């Protein structure tokens, strides 16, 4: 089979011929048909992510495909079942072996491409807003990076949860996309005084921030007393430093959130959340947005789209069927 291989941290992945994987007990062999790209793929390739796979490794955190075989003595979805998998690595190859506990059977309403980009983006936003921030109907939710892979899902989910959603993104095209996803108000991220713009809209109760940097600082100062700020990621490259005195006087809570971390201590929360989201998708309440579906050989282009923050929604790599 062919797969993209990271052999040296900080160096580009190489498309290589690799041995066919063989599933062990508790594993399923999956024919991979699509892999969703995430900013974490860039960090992992540089050795800067919280998870550091041993070299060499196949990147690709989330994927979708069809079960080809089960390992010896393993019960799981039978061969031919369409599944999504949160793998952590291994998605950018034609086949892979994954624990059967990581397989999520797919409804017919989701294509492989949509399913490959579904889990991390929607799962992050749903669990962060519902479980961690306890977002309530009628509250005001600010989403930074609102046209990106996770930001756009936060707009959708916040709208579905009954919040008033303020979306912050760069440029009219991205703001229009956020508005179509359910944003009630939009603010260009290049606005010279984001704090004042947010205060003019009445302030915010919950901040969803996958960006970090100066936007977090402005949002912090526009958050209402007893507000909650979700630190989702730092796509800007700058990790905010939070003044504890401001947290104290305004009774604010800053909440760190890493979706993949729940696999280690509460995987049932992830699965329950994804099951709920699949129900929402089947009912037409949410619709995955793929801005770029690229051929298998164009992985470098997909990663450049993430690096430059040029993509809206998800970037997904299409992987051709194998005999």
pLDDT score of 237: 85
pLDDT score of 304: 96
- What is the token pair recorded at 274? 């994804």
What is the mean pLDDT of the segment spanning 94-106? Answer: 96
- Residue 313 above 90 pLDDT? no
**Domain 124-259 adopts which CATH fold?**
Rossmann fold (3.40.50)
Q: How confident is the model at residue 42 (pLDDT cuts 50, 70, 90)?
A: very high
What is the mean pLDDT of the segment spanning 227-251? Answer: 93
pLDDT score of 134: 98
Residue with the bigger pLDDT between 48 and 129: it is 129
What is the mean pLDDT of the segment spanning 107-128? Answer: 95
Q: How confident is the model at residue 236 (pLDDT cuts 50, 70, 90)?
A: confident
What is the mean pLDDT of the segment spanning 280-284? Answer: 93
Q: List, for residues 191-205, the tens digit of each pLDDT value.
A: 999 999 999 999 999
Do the two domains 2-118+288-318 and 124-259 of this chain adopt the same fold?
no
Q: Class of the 2-118+288-318 domain?
A: alpha beta
pLDDT score of 312: 86
* pTM, full prediction: 0.92
- Residue 135 above 90 pLDDT? yes
Domain boundaries, the chain: 2-118+288-318, 124-259
């Amino acid at each position: 089979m062919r797969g993209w291989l990271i052999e040296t941290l900080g160096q580009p992945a190489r498309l290589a011929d690799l041995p066919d994987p063989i599933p062990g007990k508790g594993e399923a062999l999956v024919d991979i048909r699509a892999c969703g790209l995430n900013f974490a793929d860039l960090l992992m390739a540089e050795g800067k992510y919280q998870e550091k796979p041993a070299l060499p490794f196949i990147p690709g955190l989330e994927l979708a495909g069809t079960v080809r075989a089960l390992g010896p003595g393993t019960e799981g979805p039978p061969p031919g079942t369409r599944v999504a998998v949160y793998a952590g690595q291994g998605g950018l190859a034609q086949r892979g072996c994954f624990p059967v506990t990581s397989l999520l059977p797919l409804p017919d309403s989701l294509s492989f491409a949509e399913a490959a980009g579904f889990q991390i983006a929607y799962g992050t936003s749903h669990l962060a807003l519902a479980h961690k921030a306890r977002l309530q109907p009628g509250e005001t939710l600010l989403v930074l990076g609102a046209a990106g892979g996770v930001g756009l899902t936060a707009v959708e989910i916040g709208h579905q949860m009954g919040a008033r959603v303020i979306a912050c993104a760069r440029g009219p095209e991205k703001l229009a996309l956020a508005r179509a996803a359910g944003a009630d108000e939009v603010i260009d991220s290049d606005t010279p005084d984001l704090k004042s713009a947010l205060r003019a809209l009445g302030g915010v109760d919950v901040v969803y921030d996958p960006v970090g940097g100066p936007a977090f600082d402005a949002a912090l100062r526009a958050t209402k007393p007893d507000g909650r700020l979700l630190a989702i990621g730092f796509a800007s490259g700058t990790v905010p430093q939070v003044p504890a005195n401001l947290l104290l006087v305004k009774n604010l809570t800053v909440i760190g959130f890493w979706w993949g971390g729940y696999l280690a201590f509460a995987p049932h929360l992830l699965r329950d959340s994804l099951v709920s989201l699949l129900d929402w998708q089947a009912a037409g309440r949410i619709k995955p947005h793929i801005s770029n579906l690229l051929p298998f050989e164009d992985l470098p282009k997909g990663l450049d789209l993430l690096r430059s923050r040029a993509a809206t929604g998800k970037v997904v790599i299409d992987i051709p069927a194998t005999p």
